[in-house]
Amino acid sequence: MTDHESIAALVYGYAERIDVGDFDGVARLFAHGGYGMAGGPALRGAGAVRAALDIVKLHDGIPRTKHVTTNLVVECDEAKGVATARSYFTVLQATNALPLQVILAGRYHDRFALLDGAWRFTERVIHVDLVGEIAEHLRGGHLPGSGSPPSTVPEPAR
């Protein structure tokens, strides 16, 4: 597997783990790094990331979401053992109370390091650009720290 493919697998693996409700697996992805919303505090390490994911509502053990990740651009500096990636995400959700619809859209800005022969996340910054009905997705019905009620569109992060 090339460096680019290894990094892409991490980016796409995050979405897959979230959608099947494997929050421990998501947390392990960030064992060597930070994770958080643009403009907010960065959570450091697997324990902090796992605790933060408790805000996600589960429906029969899964969030009933599909995180679609597109427009992935990876830039590697193999000599230094570091890389960056940026991508778009769109989150769809359908529950018994919510018909299939887009609930979030935005961008991921990621950093990686080659540690012990494997690429690892060192940072994920989540830029939320559009917010739909998230009451079925997050406890409290709004993004952490936003104070925004459901269906309120925040100013896009730049």
Q: pLDDT digit of tens for each residue in the chain (158 aa)?
A: 999 999 999 999 999 999 999 999 999 999 999 999 999 989 999 999 999 999 999 999 999 999 999 999 999 999 999 999 999 999 999 999 999 999 999 999 999 999 999 999 999 999 999 999 999 999 888 777 654 444 444 444 44
User: Rounded CA gap, 62 and 26, in Å?
Assistant: 14
Tokens of 107: 């961008």
Tell me the sheet residues that pair with 104.
Answer: 91, 131
Cα first-last separation, the chain: 33
The predicted pLDDT at position 153 comes to 40
* Beta strand 65-77 pairing with 43-44: unpaired
Task: Please tell us whether the domain made up of 3-131 is placed in CATH 3.10.450.50.
Answer: yes
Q: 4 Cβ partners below 8 Å, 6+ apart?
A: 74, 76
pTM reported for the whole predicted model: 0.88
